[in-house]
Structure formats: structure tokens, C-alpha cells
A and B are shown apart, each in its own frame.
Chain A
Amino acid sequence: MNWGGFGNFVHMGGYGFYVWGSYLVAAVCIAGELILLARRARLAERRQ
């Protein structure tokens, strides 16, 4: 798959909004879950 430049890659043949909208939200969800997991672990280790 040769995209012929970064612009075309982002454009995704006109479907950039839908494709990147999916993957971006997934990345945010996973990062958010990892942050929450780290915070909960920190609190659980500290609390008496």
C-alpha cells in the first residue's frame, strides 16, 4: 500500500474523519484506562 505522501495518508481517500475518528478515540480510551489503573494502584498501595 503506497499512500504517496503524508497528506494522502491523513486524507484516507476522503474518509479521514471516520477512520481517524475511530482510532483516535480508541487511543484516548486506552490511555485513559491506563491512567485510571495507575492512579487506583497508587491509591490502593498508600491507603491504610
Chain B
Amino acid sequence: MASNGYRLDSETSGNWLLRLAAPQAFFPVAGKMIPWFIALAVLFALPGLYVSFFVAPTDFQQGEAYRVIFLHVPAAWMSMFLYVIMACWAALGLILNTRLSGMMASAVAPTGAMFTFLALWSGALWGKPTWGTWWVWDARLTSELILLFLYFGFIALTNAIDDPRRADRAGAVLAIVGVVNIPIIYFSVKWWNTLHQGASVSLTRAPSMATTMLVGMLLMALAAWMYSIAAALWRVRSIILERERDAQWVRELRGVE
């Protein structure tokens, strides 16, 4: 197995976590977890949508237009969470030189990009009736757009380099540098005078919204989390097969099937 000359010697290690870090060991585990996370996503999304559309009351200022919030806020949260997770995997790959880390970073990126697009799209559709404009070059919106370009940059860069290990390292540098944009997005509404409103939910003070609205938003956010995990696990399985195509265990896997 020439392709994994510098991987951690996980076979001899007694540490189950390290053993799981071998793509070969993680492949079947990921496969078993996917249906559970899809089921959890549905389990959170159904009551989440129900609360969003049939329990949460009409907003006294925005009327029904505010119902975009149940999609917009979870999508925006996921866009930032997934970037940080992607950067953590990328950094782990740089530090420990584990093969699976780079694969995980690549597996998270497209889903992160999708949620970033959805946050921008739903934001535009919410902005038009409430602000009177689809788009404004305000700090929050602009930094979120930069996040989308960071995802695109990561995907394009890692796809452009043929050697997957080199692609992982180059992508990791980009992902880690780009992390600086996350606090900029988060604090943009405080640091600058933006059209975008401040945080509706914060860890330090009581939420400034009706409880049912908050419940709907949190259920939808949990659904988005579960969906993201399922999507990343599904994608990483394909990445493992693509990269380890010549490994003995993949050949055996195909032989059995």
C-alpha cells in the first residue's frame, strides 16, 4: 500500500479513536450511521415545520414574511458551523497527517456551500418585503457572500490538484486562513452599522422573540445539523472509495459484492 506511507499506525494502536481514523475502518461505521442521522433530520424537520407554519403566531411588524426566519437562521448558522468544522478537520489533517481528516474536510465543504447559498437566497427573499431591497453591500451580507466564495475556493482548489494529499494540504491552508471571516460575520452586526438586525438568540441574554418562534427555529436548526452530518458521512464514503480505489480492502469489497 504505497498510497498511505505516512499514515498513523492505527492498526497496532489500542486507541479505538485512532483505529477509526483509518478510512478502511471508518467506511462501514459511516455507512451504519447515515440512516440514523437521516431519520433524526426528518424527526426534527417535521415538528419544526409544523411549529414554523401552524403554531408560531403572525409577527406584529412583519406579518407572515417573517416565517422565512425558520429557514434563514438555521441555514446561516450551519453555513458558519460547517466552515469551522471543515477548518478543524483540515487543521487536524495538517497537524496529525491523518488521511481521513482531509477527506472529512472535503466532504463537509459542498454542504456548507449549499447552506451558505440558502442563507443568502432566503435573506434576499426576506429583505425585499422588509427592507425594500434584495441586496445591500452591508457588512453582514458581504461577509456571508465572502464565506460562499471561500467554500467555492476550497472546492475548486482541492479539485484542481491531482495528488489528494497535496490537495488536502493546500485546501487546509485556505480553510484555516478563511476562518478569520467567521467572527467577522458573527460580530458584523455589532461592529458596523448594518441594515441587518442583531442576533435574535444569544447565550448571554433572554431571546428577543416568542417562545414558539424560538422552538421552531431550534427544531429546524437541529434538523439541519442532522442532515449535514448524514450528507457529510455519505460523501466521505464516496471519497474514501475514490481515493483508495487500488487498496486491497476496496478490491475485496467489490469482489464480495
CB <8 Å contact, B129 and A48: no
CB <8 Å contact, A44 and B64: no
Shortest beta-carbon distance from B219 to chain A in Å: 15
Shortest beta-carbon distance from B175 to chain A in Å: 20
Q: Is B99 at the interface (CB under 8 A from chain A)?
A: no
CB <8 Å contact, A41 and B237: yes
Q: Which residues of B contact A23 (CB under 8 A)?
A: 71
Dominant secondary structure of chain B at its interface with chain A: helix
CB <8 Å contact, A1 and B110: no
Q: Is B162 at the interface (CB under 8 A from chain A)?
A: no
Can you list 21 contacts pairing A with B, beta carbon distance less than 8 Å? A1-B53, A1-B55, A12-B65, A12-B67, A13-B65, A14-B64, A18-B65, A21-B125, A22-B122, A22-B125, A22-B126, A25-B118, A26-B118, A26-B122, A29-B118, A33-B114, A37-B231, A40-B238, A44-B238, A44-B239, A47-B242
Shortest beta-carbon distance from A47 to chain B in Å: 7
Q: Which of B110, B128, B257 contacts A33 (CB under 8 A)?
A: B110
Shortest beta-carbon distance from A17 to chain B in Å: 8
Q: Which of B64, B75, B235, B239 contacts A12 (CB under 8 A)?
A: B64
Given known contacts A1-B55, A15-B65, A22-B125, what 4 new A-B pairs fall within 8 Å (CB)? A15-B64, A19-B67, A37-B231, A44-B239
| Interfacial residues, chain A to chain B (CB-CB below 8 A) | 1, 3, 9, 12-15, 17-19, 21-23, 25-26, 29-30, 33-34, 37, 40-41, 43-45, 47-48
Interface centre among A12, A26, A40, A45 (most CB of B within 10 A): A26
Q: Which residues of A contact B159 (CB under 8 A)?
A: none
Q: Is B227 at the interface (CB under 8 A from chain A)?
A: yes
Shortest beta-carbon distance from B193 to chain A in Å: 25
Q: Which residues of A contact B126 (CB under 8 A)?
A: 18, 22
Nearest opposing residue in chain B for A37, CB measure: B234
Shortest beta-carbon distance from B120 to chain A in Å: 11
> Which are the 3 A-B pairs with shortest beta-carbon distances?
A13-B64, A44-B241, A22-B122
Q: Is B133 at the interface (CB under 8 A from chain A)?
A: no
A33-B111, A48-B245 known; A18 vs B68 contact (CB < 8 Å) = yes
CB <8 Å contact, A45 and B254: yes
Q: Is B72 at the interface (CB under 8 A from chain A)?
A: yes
Q: Which residues of A contact B200 (CB under 8 A)?
A: none
Question: Once bound together, how far apart are the Cα atoms of A17 and B134, in whole Å?
Answer: 13
